[in-house]
Amino acid sequence: MSTVPEPQKQRKKRIDCQYTAAERQVMEKYKHEYRSQPTRKLRAQVFRSKILVDMFNHWHCNNDAPKDAGDSNERIKVLLFINLLSKTDHSI
């Protein structure tokens, strides 16, 4: 008896994604490590110490400066989020 191959799942493009493909590739390196953390605090540590650092390095290396006020506001929100995490989580 022969087995019937299962159809491959097709990935759908993320309609609401705010990151470019290159930015998602930067974050993808840490996906397994991030998801394997057992607590929210440890996930925040990986996010703050690795993912955001690489994201800002990516922006800096590619001279990807904000092009308009909306883009600047999104990046400011990321910075504010980093500051918020660092103020609320004193154990890290």
> 52-71, pLDDT tens digit by residue?
888 888 887 887 765 666 67
Cα separation, 47 vs 84, in Å, equals: 13
Write out pLDDT tens, residues 3-40: 666 666 666 666 776 778 888 898 899 999 999 999 99
Domain contains 27: yes
Residue 73 within any structural domain of the chain: yes
Question: Is there a domain that residue 12 lies in?
Answer: no
pTM of the model: 0.55
Residue 20 φ/ψ, nearest 5 degrees: -75, 170
Domain that holds residue 67: 21-88
Whether residue 77 lies inside any domain: the answer is yes
Instruction: Evaluate whether residue 2 is within a structural domain.
Output: no
Domain count of the chain?
1
**d(Cα 44, Cα 41) in Å, to the nearest integer?**
5
* Residue 42 falls inside a structural domain: yes
| Any domain includes 31 | yes
